[in-house]
A and B are shown apart, each in its own frame.
Chain A
Amino acid sequence: ETGVTQTPRHLVMGMTNKKSLKCEQHLGHNAMYWYKQSAKKPLELMFVYNFKEQTENNSVPSRFSPECPNSSHLFLHLHTLQPEDSALYLCASSQDNVRGGSNQPQHFGDGTRLSIL
């Protein structure tokens, strides 16, 4: 596989469930990102990992818990979500030259469409 792969593509869960989103990048990048995309709103950055270390938590509620076991894999663990968390969750990766960001483009997966009942 090439590029950035996200699974599952669609997820429906109740507010009391626990689930995880998975992202894998095959580009050799060392930075990975989680974004939330809601209707009529710009992409919202959630988390940033550089060289497997979390460098950004953009005031995300604790019901979202990221995990980055290595530079190719990123997870988003979900628990006790709210209806307003229904959205498209996008993973991206980029090649970072220095910690704190670089000016290289981010490459995105096709996202997980999450629906909270």
Chain B
Amino acid sequence: EDQVTQSPEALRLQEGESSSLNCSYTVSGLRGLFWYRQDPGKGPEFLFTLYSAGEEKEKERLKATLTKKESFLHITAPKPEDSATYLCAVQGYGQNFVFGPGTRLSVLP
């Protein structure tokens, strides 16, 4: 059975304090790993797709990386507007998305 865990559950950073969020997964054949951002009262907003180990994607202050067992979302010099819940999802061959519980990020000014 495909599984996704995320850590930490919650993270509080000062503005400018870089850090990383972790997504660990077990899947029978990875077709894709997906990162989303979710603001309160909103639906998840798609950020990145990673397809194979060693792949990296960047967008503004965010950088996602992938290994065979986990993915990291690195946040460089975060700003208060980066505060949100970050969700990770995996898809195995022929299977639907399996989501992790998310990491709630707060960036203080």
Q: Which residues of A contact B (CB under 8 A)?
A: 4, 6, 33, 40-43, 45, 48, 56, 90, 92, 100-101, 103-111, 113
Contacts and interface: CB of A to CB of B under 8 A. Distances in A.
A108 B43 CA distance: 6
A58 B94 CA distance: 15
Contacts of B97: 43, 45, 106
A103 B44 contact: no
Interface of B: 4, 31-32, 34, 36, 41-46, 49, 51, 87, 89, 91, 94-102
B4 A109 contact: no
Given A43-B87, A56-B96, A108 B101 contact: no
Contacts of A113: 41
A interface majority secondary structure: loop
Contacts of B94: 100-101
18 contacts: A41-B101, A42-B98, A42-B100, A43-B89, A43-B99, A45-B97, A56-B96, A90-B43, A90-B44, A92-B43, A101-B95, A103-B31, A107-B46, A108-B44, A109-B43, A110-B42, A111-B43, A113-B41
